[in-house]
Structure 1
Amino acid sequence: MRLALLKIILWPKNDRFSPRVIPFLPDKINVITGESATGKSSLTAIVDYCLGSGKCAIPVGLIRDLTEWFGLHIKLANTEMIVARRNPGDQQTTTDLYWVEGLDLEIPNRIEKNGRVDDLKNRMDQVAQLPHLELSGDESVGFGSRPSFRDMAAFNFQPQHIVANPYTLFFKADTTEHREKLRAIFPLVLGAVNASTLAKQRELKDITKEHDRLRRELEARLKAAKAWEAEIESYYLQAKALGLLPDAPNPDSTWNLDRFVIELQPVPANVKKLDIPEIKEGTGEEAVNQLTEIIGEEDRLARQMGAVRQRLSKLDQLSESVGEYGSTLTGQKDRMLGVGWLERKLSSKHMCPVCYAVHEHGNENLGELQKLAHELGVLANSVAQAPAKLDQELADLRKELRNLEQDISKIRKKRQFLESASQELSSQRQRVRQVYLFVGRVEQALENLSASRNVGELGDRVKDLSRRIQELKDDLDPRAQRERERAAIESVSSRIHDYARDLQLEHAAENVRLNIRELSLQFTSLSGRTDFLWEVGSGQNWVGYHVSCLLALHEHFVGLSSSPVPQFLVIDQPSQVYFPEAWPSLEDTPGGKSADIEGVHRIFAALSKFLDELDEPFQIIVTEHAGAITWHGLGNIHVVANWRDGHDDFLIPRSWHDVEHNG
């Protein structure tokens, strides 16, 4: 995929300043050299973020504090793009995007959101000619989803924490998600699998499902045809019993299914000739109406009987309560009889029979007591008259209940008569209905039998799909795919060996091989022992094999007829294993070079040789502590900037943060 970075652009939050623009050449080794903390390593994160990264890895601090938008000016095969993403601020990321595409684009001073990151990803997928199909036809395989332009970033970036990492060879392969997806896309990027292969995998998956469905349907029809044999024979016997086949012979052991079918076919026509009893129109409706009225009258009488029974029960309870109350009042009245005698004796001057005292006046309390005794007597007389009235009421209710019982008895006899008549009519109708239903079942059975036996077209379709499935399996022969994959790995591994030899790395004489399962390099010595990159010592070896592997892979990608991997590589601080603390000399070439300087020089020499041997333009961006001494005398070098005091401005211009500090 033709893609080169023409510019990295930063738009400041302070609109008094113009955008910060860092230009690059599309077919050179673009070098930015400088001191620590000048923003060199941030360039990798900026490029990755602007190309649609899910998270923003741009360091928090001065860069994010002063920059509003991060952007790129990109050159594609036939067009250019300016893409920019907004500073996410306190968030991990943002989907806000500015995007313009065309030729001879100019960088705007201020920009506003006009799209989303997903729009850019879709466009890049289209430019990379990535298939719109899953990598795996097996739904149970994880991380086999559609390949994305973002997946290709594994081959475009070697940030500082990766370039000399013995455990991680590829960008973002230190996380499970990216590592598994990288394993899945490797056959595609190596050319062992292409869009046509994925399309055939998808077709195989789809028609296999269709084949299985049609095969099950075919088996079901054949099974149903056997089941209908017994059904058809049973229907023949029933048709004879119902008189629908009066002249048909009795079946014997020589009859096959076709004979039963032939004999049953006249049944529908014979029904029209039967002497089926005529039922007068409206007869059933009239009987139903009468029965409905009778049932309604019965319900009404039943409700009345219920109400009478309820009243009768309550009056019985009341009569019993009144009797008990009257008995209680009579007892109390009898106990009050002595009050009158005592009042008469004590109503005038008298002597107390207890203390023999003489009293001149009557006793007021006895008067009150006598009043109560009188009221009690009146109440007892009233209660004594109540049972007679209640008895009359109870007698009337019992008579009403008997009358209702007689009426409902008559109604039920009428209902029984009407129901008998209705059942006879229903039975007559049922016999007619039975005949017609049977004829319908016979017709349906004959039709189903015909359909179940007519499987020629379905069988042909199953055979066609079986042939196509076999063709696809032959084309998708996993052995052939593995052979293409093996050949690609052998080619890449051979070039890794060549670059390792140029870099004078240890173990270069051994059989070095790319292991796409482990996503690492493995070394097989003459003794037969296999070691992986993390088992090989020395930072010089680690960074050297990282560079060798990425160059060999890109050489392979460029050689394919079509590759989705962008043709650029960003390497950050490859000299870190040689000069971990400080760069000893900046520009001047001393009389004799140290072994460390020679080691870094060999890296730049390998990068330059890589560009010389390619037939197509390829872009490399290197951010380095190292100075010109490490690439002195090499071709294809383009020094973009020197971010040291007294030389070029750093990533964030001094004027931006001077204003910020002076505020």
Structure 2
Amino acid sequence: MNCHVKKIGVIDNYGDNHIVNFKEGVNVITGKSSTGKSAIIEIFDYCFGSSDFTIPDGVITKNAKIYFVLLKFENSNLLLGRKGNDTKAFIKEFGNDYFKDNEVTEVLFNKQNFITLSNFKKELGSYFGITITDTHVSSFYSNNNSLPTIRSVMSYLLQHQNLIANKHAIFYRFDEKEKREHTIEHFKIFLGLVDQEYFLTFQKLDKYKLELKKLEQEAPKVSSLINNIKLKIQMLLDEYEAISGCKLENISVDKLYYNSEESLKLIQNSYVKVNSGSDRNNYHIELLEKKRNDNIFILRKEEKKYRELRSSISAMNIYSDMLNKTDVPLEVKEHITKCPLCNLESDTIENEADKLFDAISWLNDELDKTPYVQRSYLSKQNKIKDCIDKIKNELSEIDKKIESIEKSNKELKKRNSINEQLIKIKLKIEAYLENIIEIKKPSELTSEINKFKKKVAITQQELDKYKLEGKIKDIEDYINRVMNYIAKDLDFEKSYQPINLKFSLKTFDIWHEKEDGKKVYLRSMGSGANWLYTHLSLFLSFQSLFCKEEKTCVIPPILFLDQPTQVYFPNVTSDYNKEFNPSDLIGNNEEKISKVDDDIKSVENFFNQIIFFCEKINNKYAIKPQIIIIDHADNLNLESPREFNSYVIERWRENGFIN
């Protein structure tokens, strides 16, 4: 985004305007205390839609009627304005050459161009290319998600007086967790790495994944439900045959299931039949009892195995405890023995030592094997337990079937006829078939699962085209490379040289990384000078990035630095002289006074490096970052052929912003 500040000003209660004119590159506003220097950055922030009125109370706020900022775009000018502590803001576009012949006056600020702050931020954002209206990454979301606005951009443009050398904070507006998270999240949008289609695709992917998960969870439940229904239908068919002596229809359960709609019509149209002379009742009971006996036999065998295995596990635990408590020798120490009479060496001890060594090796092997044996026993125990549970479930089903047939037989003694019982069974079968018709078949679910898997894969490919992770990694590497290129020429303390700054785009944390990989975060990096140079290195690297990506980046290469030299001249509240005298700003400490020359050299180097940076970026990308420095420092000796006065746009020693 090729844009820079052209004017910042105030129209007072008498209609007079007080304007500071800016240019591309380095702009220096220097002056003594209480002249309105710090109001410049606050007016800029306020005119960019800040909901807080933070312009310092005093001469300016008492006399100001309208605050304004004039921005210069490539083909137009954009005038922004606010009234004191107002909930509305002014925005109006003018032609490219309009302000060559016209000044900013009160007449330009007509009422119809003052709009609500929310609408103002949307309209202003559109000039910078911030047009995304939905940043949700889920198809199920709350309505409190923050859209990217021009306010998030401010974190990259402003380094206030209390921030520029702060060891605890790096970015403006990061004191609130929500604003911090939004600014970090919006960075990829501002750099043009993602667009509206990216978020819509992400929502689509989330929707497909949720649907796929739902189907995958549903599939085993449906299979279990259908198997359960099929078992119940089979039980009813068997019961019908046992009571009536004949089959309801010559049809299997599987056929009923796979042709459920036709089967339902068949069952509904079938007539109840009874074969009084049939032995099917007795046959079914005998069949079920035999099956029960067989299962009980298998159950007893498995229970015996289970008992024996539990006994083995118990013995193994005792054995393991005993071995663990045994003091196991690790080595055998042997000594040469000689006969006391003939003085000949004996190998008896050596042979015994070999046996002992073998015994120790065996014992250690046993200790090593014990955990594996224990785990294998436990695994077998679980398998047998599962088998026992399965047999018990089958026995339970058999008992239910026998009980159902016996119950039907007893019903014959009562007033209920066989026909009534058979009709009741028939109606139950019809009800189960109706349930099956309504339930999706596992094959249908599998087909849907495969369909959504394909959708997820295709949508993921659409997101992968953005190559977001790779691009973020490349940008992070670029920032770190440029940051350290800038930092190497700044006056970091010797203990941090050579400086090796690292910045994370995931967390927006910054640190110095030592050779051993240890991270020293900003808050632990010693003096205020280190904090100042770390801030400067990072934010200049951002400026370099914004210029490099000018065609897709919506963040303009503008940076405000408010009183950066306070690190060297902390006593700025005492600066009321007509000339800048650094000795007046360092206090009465003799040691500090003796270092004033070194401090001035560091300050001059600070300004030199910013100027060098702007020149290099302009040569490389044909864009000049606009660095606006508001400070007390003056009359500095810059590296030839550069003259400090050529960068000073305002010097407020005798007069201020508003006189």
TM-score over 0.5 (shorter chain): yes
Corresponding position of 2:439: 452
Does residue 101 (structure 1) correspond to residue 101 (structure 2)? The answer is no
- Cα displacement string for residues 267-314 of structure 1 (whole angstroms, at most 9, x for unaligned residues): 55579xxxxxxxxxxxxxxxxxxxxxxxxxxxxxxxxxxxxxxxxxxx
Corresponding position of 2:653: 644
SS across alignment from 2:510: strand
1:67-82 matches, within 5 Å, as 67-82=64-79
RMSD of aligned alpha carbons: 4.4
State the distance in 2 between where 1:149 and 1:208 align. 33
Q: Which runs of 5+ in 2 are unaligned?
A: 272-420, 582-595
- Verify the 8 A CA contact 1:125 1:149 in the aligned structure 2: yes
Residue type of the alignment partner of 1:622:
I
Q: 1:544 to 1:211 in 2, by over 3 A?
A: same
SS across alignment from 1:85: strand
State the distance in 2 between where 1:81 and 1:121 align. 13
1:74-153 matches, within 5 Å, as 74-88=71-85, 94-104=86-96, 107-110=104-107, 111=109, 112=111, 114-126=114-126, 127-129=128-130, 131-134=132-135, 145-153=146-154
Offset at residue 264 of structure 1 (A): 4.5
1:151-550 matches, within 5 Å, as 151-186=152-187, 197-216=198-217, 222-229=223-230, 249-250=247-248, 255-259=252-256, 264-266=264-266, 446=433, 448-452=435-439, 459-472=446-459, 484-506=471-493, 507-516=496-505, 519-526=508-515, 528-550=517-539
**Residue 634 of structure 1: which of 642, 647, 652 is its match?**
642
- Cα displacement string for residues 631-652 of structure 1 (whole angstroms, at most 9, x for unaligned residues): 574389543222121xxx5222
SS across alignment from 2:37: coil
State the distance in 1 between where 2:52 and 2:33 align. 24
SS across alignment from 1:629: coil
Offset at residue 116 of structure 1 (A): 0.9
Offset at residue 135 of structure 1 (A): 6.8
- Verify the 8 A CA contact 2:240 2:248 in the aligned structure 1: no
SS across alignment from 1:502: coil
**Residue 606 of structure 2: which of 597, 603, 607 is its match?**
603
Q: 1:511 to 1:265 in 2, by over 3 A?
A: same
- Verify the 8 A CA contact 1:33 1:626 in the aligned structure 2: yes
Corresponding position of 2:57: 60
- Cα displacement string for residues 135-167 of structure 1 (whole angstroms, at most 9, x for unaligned residues): 765989999744332112111011111112222
State the distance in 2 between where 1:469 and 1:29 align. 51
Question: TM-score, with normalisation over the residues of structure 2?
Answer: 0.61
- Verify the 8 A CA contact 1:136 1:144 in the aligned structure 2: no
State the distance in 1 between where 2:155 and 2:248 align. 83
Offset at residue 64 of structure 1 (A): 1.6
1:12-23 matches, within 5 Å, as 12=12, 14=13, 16-23=14-21
State the distance in 1 between where 2:426 and 2:41 align. 82
**Residue 541 of structure 2: which of 541, 548, 552 is its match?**
552
State the distance in 2 between where 1:259 and 1:192 align. 57
- Verify the 8 A CA contact 1:583 1:626 in the aligned structure 2: no
Residue type of the alignment partner of 2:115:
G
SS across alignment from 2:439: helix
Offset at residue 569 of structure 1 (A): 0.7
Offset at residue 66 of structure 1 (A): 1.5
State the distance in 2 between where 1:236 and 1:140 align. 50
Q: 1:33 to 1:498 in 2, by over 3 A?
A: same
Offset at residue 489 of structure 1 (A): 2.3
Q: 1:493 to 1:231 in 2, by over 3 A?
A: same
Q: 1:457 to 1:251 in 2, by over 3 A?
A: closer
Q: 1:200 to 1:583 in 2, by over 3 A?
A: farther
SS across alignment from 2:488: helix
- Verify the 8 A CA contact 1:533 1:542 in the aligned structure 2: yes
Q: 1:494 to 1:48 in 2, by over 3 A?
A: same
State the distance in 2 between where 1:570 and 1:191 align. 23
State the distance in 2 between where 1:437 and 1:567 align. 83
- Verify the 8 A CA contact 1:192 1:481 in the aligned structure 2: yes
Number of residues paired by the alignment? 474
Residue type of the alignment partner of 1:152:
V
- Verify the 8 A CA contact 1:225 1:453 in the aligned structure 2: no
SS across alignment from 1:265: helix
State the distance in 1 between where 2:66 and 2:246 align. 94
State the distance in 1 between where 2:478 and 2:466 align. 18
- Verify the 8 A CA contact 1:221 1:452 in the aligned structure 2: yes
- Verify the 8 A CA contact 2:125 2:150 in the aligned structure 1: yes
SS across alignment from 2:173: coil
Offset at residue 440 of structure 1 (A): 9.4
Residue type of the alignment partner of 2:656:
F
State the distance in 2 between where 1:264 and 1:527 align. 77
Offset at residue 554 of structure 1 (A): 1.8
Corresponding position of 2:312: none
**Residue 38 of structure 2: which of 38, 41, 44 is its match?**
41
- Verify the 8 A CA contact 1:131 1:198 in the aligned structure 2: no
Q: Which runs of 5+ in 1 are unaligned?
A: 89-93, 272-433, 655-663
Q: 1:268 to 1:77 in 2, by over 3 A?
A: farther
Question: TM-score, with normalisation over the residues of structure 1?
Answer: 0.61
- Verify the 8 A CA contact 1:574 1:600 in the aligned structure 2: no
- Cα displacement string for residues 110-157 of structure 1 (whole angstroms, at most 9, x for unaligned residues): 433631111122124433336434376598999974433211211101
Instruction: Say which is worse superposed, 488-497 or 166-175, in terms of deviation.
Output: 166-175
SS across alignment from 2:65: strand
SS across alignment from 2:540: helix
State the distance in 2 between where 1:151 and 1:594 align. 40
Offset at residue 38 of structure 1 (A): 0.6
**Residue 632 of structure 2: which of 622, 625, 646 is its match?**
625
Offset at residue 109 of structure 1 (A): 1.5
Q: 1:9 to 1:221 in 2, by over 3 A?
A: same
Q: 1:264 to 1:182 in 2, by over 3 A?
A: closer
SS across alignment from 2:153: helix
Q: 1:513 to 1:66 in 2, by over 3 A?
A: same
- Cα displacement string for residues 172-205 of structure 1 (whole angstroms, at most 9, x for unaligned residues): 3344444444444456567776666544433322
Offset at residue 568 of structure 1 (A): 0.7
- Verify the 8 A CA contact 1:585 1:627 in the aligned structure 2: no
Offset at residue 550 of structure 1 (A): 0.5
